[in-house]
């Protein structure tokens, strides 16, 4: 029997939040697995499904299939541990992080993605062929219902669902404040010669 690698995920659609376990026979990061998924429906087990505006009404089901075409965001709740020889550092070599705000019809998503430093943002976007953009440090702001923002470490945003986006300027490090010069040492007062009598 082979080991399974299980990601606990939340899938956001226009009006639903679906949670469950996404099993893989071979380890892949969640975004790579979702992008490499050949099936139209993402299989989840130990699942729940709830209206986005009424999460307390979640219904638990043992197995669930989620249509990739209706998926806006897949967020990682708990990522499977990679095998010891998984080359994560190699994948990040030669790229720079870019924080951005992404707008969909249902959410505003803040997250960080990686791009090559020699590409502008429009060039990078034109070259994306994956269905989902991998993001880290994800914050999801639902546009309707006044729901509280949701924060996740990692997510994959459906590229076709992005209506608009803009990069967030990273705060520049503050210039060091110059140290004031040390106070000048006071010279001892010269003794006045004693008056002659």
Strand stretches in the chain, DSSP E: 5-12, 16-24, 41-51, 59-67, 73-78, 96-103, 107-115, 132-142, 150-158, 164-167
Helix H or strand E segment including 123:
helix 121-127
**Residue 83 domain-assigned (yes or no):** no
* Same domain? 70 vs 114: no
Distance of CA 29 to the CA centre of its chain: 13
What CATH number should be reported for the domain holding residue 105?
2.30.30.100
The string of pLDDT tens digits covering residues 124-179 is: 888 888 999 999 999 999 887 667 888 999 999 999 999 999 999 754 545 555 65
Q: Give me the number of domains the chain comprises.
A: 2
Report if pTM > 0.85: no
103 and 68: one domain? no
Domain containing residue 139: 90-167
User: Does residue 138 fall inside a structural domain?
Assistant: yes
Distance CA 62, CA 67 (A): 17
Tokens of 62: 């043992």
38 belongs to a structural domain: yes
User: What does the pLDDT look like over 4-31, one tens digit per residue?
Assistant: 899 999 999 998 999 999 999 888 888 8
Residue 188, domain member (yes or no): no
Q: Tell me the pLDDT tens digit for each residue of 36-54.
A: 888 899 999 999 999 888 8
**Do residues 156 and 134 make contact, with C-beta atoms less than 8 angstroms apart?**
yes
């Amino acid at each position: 029997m082979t080991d399974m690698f299980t990601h606990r995920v939340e899938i956001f659609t226009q009006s639903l939040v679906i949670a469950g376990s996404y099993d893989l026979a071979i380890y892949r990061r969640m975004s790579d697995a979702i992008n490499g998924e050949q099936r139209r429906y993402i299989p989840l087990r130990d699942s729940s499904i709830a209206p986005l505006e009424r999460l307390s009404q979640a219904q638990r089901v043992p197995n669930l299939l989620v249509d990739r075409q209706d998926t806006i965001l897949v967020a990682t709740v708990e990522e499977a541990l990679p095998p010891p020889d998984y080359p994560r550092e190699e994948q990040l070599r030669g790229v720079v992080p870019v924080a951005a705000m992404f707008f969909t019809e249902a959410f505003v998503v803040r997250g960080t993605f990686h791009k090559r430093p020699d590409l502008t943002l429009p060039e990078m976007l034109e070259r994306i062929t994956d269905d989902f953009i991998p993001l880290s440090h994800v914050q999801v702001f639902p546009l309707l219902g006044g729901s509280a923002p949701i924060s996740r470490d990692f997510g994959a945003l459906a590229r076709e669902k992005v209506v608009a986006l803009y990069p967030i300027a990273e705060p520049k490090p503050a210039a060091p404040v110059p140290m004031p010069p040390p106070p000048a040492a006071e010279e001892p007062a010269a003794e006045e010669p004693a008056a002659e009598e």
